[in-house]
Structure 1
Amino acid sequence: MKLIDKYILKRYLATFSVMLLLFIPIGIVIDISEKVNKMIEKKIPMLDILIYYGDFTVYFANLLFPIFLFLSVIWFTSKLANNTEIIAILSSGISYQRFLKPYLIGATVVSVFALLMGFFLVPKASKGFNDFRYQNLKGNAQTRETSDIFRQIGQGEFIYVSNYNYLSKTGFNFVYEKFNDNKLEFKIEANRIKYNEETKKYTLYTFTKRTIGQLNDKLESSEKEIIDFNFEPDDLTPVVYVAETMTIGQLYQFIQKEKAKGNANINTYLVVFYKKFSLPISAFILTIIAVAVSSMKRRGGMGMNLAIGIVIAFTFIFFDKVFGTMAEKSSISPLAAVWFPNIVFGFLAFYLLRNAKR
């Protein structure tokens, strides 16, 4: 590696690291200012708060790393342009493609790091971050419920609960239906169902079971019945952020299981899965755009480059969020929706890079 490569690569990684170190404390301070009253009111232990902000740091850095990377590249490349260092480099006979080499090496380092974080570290941080928020900062934890949950848990097996509390693992107005050759075999109903962590069984209160016969139905009832169903509590309601809390292997297996059950929320989980791969690739695209935008010496100086960069960065985030939401709520393919921003900005990177060479 030549001296110029080491110089640019060092600036690339150092500026990106400094950008993270500058903005993450700002995010923590803003978060503390919003939540300090609830933390004091609920007397949350200091150790739990410190663990929460450790998870917050990883979660926040992963969420906004494309913006930080983009702005840091624009920042130090604009300084090189303003100091006429880029002109000197290109005048020495180095081609523009060769000038990009250390940037692409830096993007590779950041992408691999982001990929490994997204696969293994971010899920753990996301679980700690969201669990803390829902248990301590979202009002009464016992109100953490979802409603009208319908699931297919197996071949010809369906369950329904009108409300389910994730923390107490209690559901209300429970219904279990078993079909055989599209004909109802029996149906179980209960006013309340509760999962027992120790026995791994369910307790049904105000239990009734109707078995369908050829001539007459058989009706059974009791105040309380303990049954070993073949579904997990998370089958009643995978929490909103469940996909974010799984490693890549766990998420893949979870998606396959939910597909087999006909889960209506499958697109939400697929968006999270595909983003784990698309986000690191965006580091290359945004790096090329940032270099193309900031390597030219403009009349407005560094301020103009940063203004252009901020507009492009937030446009990228806007596309990413809009198409991710569309994939979750409509029939758009999650794979196409997640990769669409990278494809569009990839063409933009090619166009800007070609102009920058000229």
Structure 2
Amino acid sequence: MKRLSRYLLTECALTSFTALVVLTTLVLLPQILMLVDLWVNKSVSVSVLGKMVLLIMPKFLVASLPMALLVGILIGLGRLAQDSELIVIKASGISLLRIFYPLSVPIVVVTACSLYLNWFLVPDSHTLFQNIRVALLSQNTFSIKTQTFNNTIPGLTIYVNRQSHGGKLLEGLLIHDERDPDMPVTVIAKSGMLHRGSTGETALLLKEGSRHQMAPGNAYRRLNFSTYDLELGIAFETESSSGDRAIRSYSIADLEQARIAQDPLLASEAEREWHRRFAIPLATLLLGFLAIPLAMQQNQRSGRGFGFIVAISVLILQFILLTLGEAMAKRGLISPAMGAWSPNLALLLFTSYVTYMAYHDRPIRLFQWLGAVLAMLPQRMLQTTNPSGKAR
């Protein structure tokens, strides 16, 4: 029995870990490409970008852990079903509960990791990530390369002769502003430096220069200035500018205080976040235990794609229910608790039903039909072509 437990545990743990790596990479890829853009176009150091990737990873691990657990167990046990090993296990008198026993270890471990991520690691990493982001926006909003025409801001061409004081002071500036195509402006200044404008956006304070503009009717205008404030149109993004994201960075104590706040919107949002941090780990636990009886519905006819298709279908349905529950709770149609827990209740009922059918060795007609369709697809595809490979 110990050998069987180790065999099942090894088989499903390897596939789950592989699925976790693949899914996390796919989810992180768009974010990594955005950070690479900071490295290429804005000269942000690789060490800072690497730290930012590590800080956003916990947020995406929360989403990929339940998916990896479901897909990994289904594919792992699916291979055993395809090789008739599950039939041999059943014929040996080993019950479904005996299969649950070794696989419950990684399921509980992953659930505990999801709980820790939601309550501790994600809020802390989110706060650090926002701090780094604000620091980059405030100190190095756009990349300035000396003796080069910089086009990092659409409509603006900036030329800087040299930088000093750690890159904060720009000297010998030539700026061509085409953000208004009908009224292009050229500005020449002896020096300039970045600062936060009165509107909260990044601005460039220019000193000792002139402003040149072609007015309608081919009229030429020149304005000499001692100081000139040029708005760059880039806002400083902070936590206060995004309430939906700010609540994710709340610690346990902050979240409890927000739940009893006088502001009804903040209290409702904190209530939804509190339930969400518990609901996601529970969904991870249920999806892990659902994968085991689902895998028992496979056979040699269903094909190796059965587990993957079932996993994707379950995940899509769960995502729809979670999104619908959250949207209804946000609009006040249902309570935050119902919006967070109703998808898990539906998942619990479905898991109980599939487990009951698998325990009594009863097939589920929907899965039988799906397995038959998957088994028939290769034959149908072969029948639509003749031996020369051309369609009939």
**Where on the TM-score scale, by shorter chain, does this alignment land: which range?**
0.5 to 0.7
Q: Residues 25-55 of structure 1: CA distance to partner in whole angstroms, max 9, x if unpaired?
A: 3434433334533443332222221111001
CA contact (8 A) 1:59 1:129 kept: no
The 1-side partners of 2:197 and 2:277 are apart by 30
CA contact (8 A) 1:15 1:73 kept: yes
CA contact (8 A) 1:130 1:241 kept: no
The 2-side partners of 1:74 and 1:339 are apart by 25
Counterparts in 2 of 1:252-291, with a 5 A limit? 252-256=256-260, 258=261, 261-291=262-292
TM (normalized to structure 2)?
0.61
The 2-side partners of 1:122 and 1:88 are apart by 44
- Misfit runs of 4+, over 6 Å: 167-172, 234-238
3-state SS of paired residue (1:297) = coil
Q: Residues 296-345 of structure 1: CA distance to partner in whole angstroms, max 9, x if unpaired?
A: 33323120221121111111112112211221222411011101111001
The 2-side partners of 1:293 and 1:63 are apart by 21
Matching residue of 1:65: 65
Q: Does 1:321 align with 2:312?
A: no
Matching residue of 1:82: 82
Of 30-39 and 238-247, deviating more is: 30-39
Q: 2:244 aligns with which of 220, 234, 240?
A: 240
3-state SS of paired residue (1:281) = helix
What is the one-letter code of the residue matched to 1:245?
A: S
Aligned length: 269
The 2-side partners of 1:240 and 1:170 are apart by 25
5+ long unaligned stretches in structure 1: 142-166, 173-233
Counterparts in 2 of 1:191-230, with a 5 A limit? none
- Flag the 1:331–1:84 CA change in 2: closer, same or farther, 3 A: same
- Flag the 1:235–1:115 CA change in 2: closer, same or farther, 3 A: closer
Identity of aligned residues (%): 20
- Flag the 1:247–1:312 CA change in 2: closer, same or farther, 3 A: same
The 1-side partners of 2:4 and 2:198 are apart by 63
Counterparts in 2 of 1:87-98, with a 5 A limit? 87-98=87-98
TM (normalized to structure 1)?
0.66
Matching residue of 1:330: 332
Task: Compute the displacement of 1:288 (Å).
Answer: 2.5
The 2-side partners of 1:66 and 1:344 are apart by 16
Bigger Rg over Cα: 2
Counterparts in 2 of 1:130-141, with a 5 A limit? 130=130
Matching residue of 1:196: none
The 2-side partners of 1:287 and 1:263 are apart by 36
Task: Compute the displacement of 1:2 (Å).
Answer: 2.4
CA contact (8 A) 1:66 1:283 kept: yes
What is the one-letter code of the residue matched to 1:272?
A: E
Matching residue of 1:9: 9
